[in-house]
A and B are shown apart, each in its own frame.
Chain A
Amino acid sequence: MRRLTSLLAAGMLTVGLLAGCGTNPSATPPDQTTSYTEPPLPANAELVTETPAPTTTTNTPAVPQPECDDPTASLRPVADPAQRVGPNIDAIRARGRLIVGLDTGSNLFSFRDPRTGAVVGFDVDIAREIARDLLGDPNLLEYRTLGSAERERALQNNTVDIVTKTMTITCARRQKVDFSTVYFLAHQRVLSTMDSSIESLDDLAGKRVCVVDGTTSKDNILAYQPQAQLLTVSSWADCLVVLQQRQVDAISTDDSVLAGLAVQDPYLRVVGPNVSDEPYGVGIGKGKDDLTRSVNATLERIRADGTWNAIYDRWLTVLGPSPGPPAPRYQD
């Protein structure tokens, strides 16, 4: 058997040698030429290859939106705190807790303090002030974790009382939910490294820019600077990863989000003029007018008594000194 195998092997070797004749067995094999320099990418990262049709004037945003008069105009607050009454307020008071929808991954706005485990941030402080006025104690909060797409549904289904989650007031959303007055006015800007020559959105031509897919920020970049190459990922923290790995030159979105990224890396800076207004409002279930007026009264109070500025200074100084609270607009 062994002889047979060795015979067979000898035969195969001969065939192999005959087939291989012409190649020099002592020739040096070629070096490995694979490149290993490219860092990994976050999940669902994608280079945007389709180039949008060039707009005639590059400086006009071409974001399609349902039209309405003024989405940021809300209901006038109750004049006297004693007048905070109504079926929805009563229900919250009977429960003894205010149920707030937010997420715990938006750095500086609502995030979990890794040391204490508590959910903190600008949005959380706004919610605490609302609870203070409604229930007499800012700690009487209960949180519900919501994805961006779930915010409106949670309000419609009544699973939360209010949503404080960097929610931009738009005409489209106004058709499904109500909003308080504007409590924060964000602007789209650019985050880049200190050694970069990028100073504004205009400088992004030919540069790689990271943006979260499906956001208005992506539409804005395409409208302002169609020559930017976009890399889309699924969260803003992923954008910081690809910026630190030098796979993109910049990130562009609301300055509120950029601030949350900038505080994590001393070599980054927020640059450029404000290119869009993103008014954030407290989301409230449609038709809960008593609650809307009460929330607006709270916002009115913190604008007036300096609480708003104190909250700003606690979280957002990375964006510069407080610009002061945005002025409220009322529809009635």
Chain B
Amino acid sequence: MAAPAEERTLGPALENLTPRAAAALFRDHVHPTSARAFARSSPGKLLALGVVAIVLCLLAGTVTAVTAGDRRANLDVQLAETEPFAYSAQRLYLSLSIADAAAGTAFIYGGLEPLSVRETYLQALGDAAAESTGVAGDEQPGSPARDALIGIATQLPVYAGTIETARANNRLGLPVGSAYLGEASNLMQSTVLPDAEQLYEERAATISTTLQRYEQPPWPAIGLLAAALLGLVLIQMYLLRRWRRVFNPGMIVASFAMLALLAWMTIGASVAAADTRKALDQGNTPLTTLTHARILAQQARSGETLKLSRRDTTGEYDQAYDANVAELRTLLADYPSDAPAADLVRDAQTPLDGWIAAHGRMNDAFGRADYTGAATIAIGSDPDDSTAQFTALDDDLEQGITQTRAELRDEVARASRMLDGLVVGAILLALGGSMFVALGLWPRLREYR
């Protein structure tokens, strides 16, 4: 009972209990010696084991939920931000390349460029400008990605201005127009595109490193889960020996709940890890390859058209074309035959060969100073010539990019969904397990009253 002096003045109400009074109350009720005795007593041991079992259940559930939830959250960030940013960077790069190739193509026609080519240029330039704002993300000031974006955003109007200077001169029939075109293209190829490439590579690498982190199931968490289950089993074996009782149904249900969670975690996380690995191997890796291939094709096309519009005899643009096409050929040849879009890549070989053949014919005509003939091969509409072959190649690569991108996103989404269920399941099973431990031990505890 409470100290009489305090009882008189304050009464026993709980809110009026001073710490000292509470301590006295506790001493009266639970005497140290009796508390020690309680712990050593059978109900005390039973209660302690019950608490340990419940803690094990809750711990296992929490670790599973946190681990799976963390993975799921990071995979969702890939889907919602990282991958779209990387794709946007890729679109930015391609729009810039397409604009440059279209500007060069328009030049070969002379002062009267076809409207369709002009529109291709304007569309690509607009796309690039839009993407350069859309990919901004949340890069910190001073980060390489931010610097690359600033570089692109500030150089793009300079590029567009130089292209228009080139056009105005070209319309007047002045050869200096092609020199301005060359300068603009040099700005694009040596400054803007490397910035865009860096941006893309950085983001593609972010996807790779994140996915690589989740390629393996979370073994430590699974181990902890197994340890919790083992703890529950040991507790039951102890109870069995100590009290010679039949199996405690509550504890058994709790153990099965933990076993189910372990199985779910092992299988679910393994499947999610396999999905992640597939997203990486069948999605991100071929996607990066195909993106690189498409960029090489665009650059080779720029080299081809620039050679003609600049009437280049130094071999500078030929070397660029040959190097790009050789690398492109290697990329396509090394493309794994079991990856998605492998059939498209196989199909792309034909237009690539056709393009290289057309390029050879164009160079022969150019060598004969047959400029009109060379221009016809480079930009004419004959299905065997450069434009048609290049377009077919580019279409194949674009479709391949769409397919591998879908594969990447599908697999990541599947892994995320798999983990999503696991989070909810882990919480429910842990709570259920704890409840059954309590329900199972409560009647035993009551027997000691």
Q: Which residues of A contact B111 (CB under 8 A)?
A: 114-115
Q: Which residues of A contact B256 (CB under 8 A)?
A: none
Q: Give a binary string over B325-367; 1 marks a CB under 8 Å from any A CB, 0 the rest.
A: 0000000000000000000000000000000000000000011
Q: Are B73 and A238 in contact (CB under 8 A)?
A: no
Q: Of A1, A113, A144, A237, which is within 8 A of B178 by CB? A: A237
Q: With contacts A103-B313, A111-B175, A146-B313 known, is A119 near B371, CB below 8 A?
A: yes
Q: With contacts A40-B158, A147-B313, A147-B315 known, is A264 near B183, CB below 8 A?
A: no
Give chain B's interface secondary structure class.
helix
Q: Are A144 and B369 in contact (CB under 8 A)?
A: yes
Q: Of A34, A105, A112, A241, which is within 8 A of B180 by CB? A: A241
Interface residues of B in 165-208 (CB under 8 A from A): 169-170, 173-176, 178-180, 182-187, 190-191
For residue A39, CB closer than 8 A to chain B, the reply is yes
Q: Which residues of B contact A36 (CB under 8 A)?
A: 154, 158
Q: Are A147 and B314 in contact (CB under 8 A)?
A: yes
Q: With contacts A5-B73, A40-B184, A241-B183 known, is A102 near B369, CB below 8 A?
A: yes
For residue B110, CB closer than 8 A to chain A, the reply is yes
Q: Are A237 and B314 in contact (CB under 8 A)?
A: no
For residue A21, CB closer than 8 A to chain B, the reply is no
For residue A145, CB closer than 8 A to chain B, the reply is yes
Q: With contacts A114-B110, A147-B315, A264-B174 known, is A105 near B310, CB below 8 A?
A: yes
Chain A: which residue is nearest B374 at the CB level?
Answer: A145
Question: Interface size (B, Cβ < 8 Å)?
Answer: 43
For residue B6, CB closer than 8 A to chain A, the reply is no
For residue A117, CB closer than 8 A to chain B, the reply is yes
Chain B min CB distance to A18 (Å): 19
For residue A41, CB closer than 8 A to chain B, the reply is yes
Q: Which residues of A contact B259 (CB under 8 A)?
A: none
Q: Are B313 and A150 in contact (CB under 8 A)?
A: yes
For residue B432, CB closer than 8 A to chain A, the reply is no
Chain A min CB distance to B30 (Å): 34
Q: Are A42 and B311 in contact (CB under 8 A)?
A: no
For residue A235, CB closer than 8 A to chain B, the reply is yes
Q: Give a binary string over A18-48; 1 marks a CB under 8 Å from any B CB, 0 the rest.
A: 0000000000000000101001111100000
How far is B48's CA from A312's CA once the two chains are assembled, in angstroms? 112
Q: Are B187 and A145 in contact (CB under 8 A)?
A: no
Q: Are B186 and A42 in contact (CB under 8 A)?
A: yes
How far is B295's CA from A102's CA once the two chains are assembled, in angstroms? 34
How far is B66's CA from A232's CA once the two chains are assembled, in angstroms? 63
Chain A interfacial positions (CB closer than 8 Å to B): 1, 4-5, 34, 36, 39-43, 102-105, 107, 111-115, 117, 119, 142-148, 150, 234-235, 237-238, 240-241, 244, 260-261, 264-265
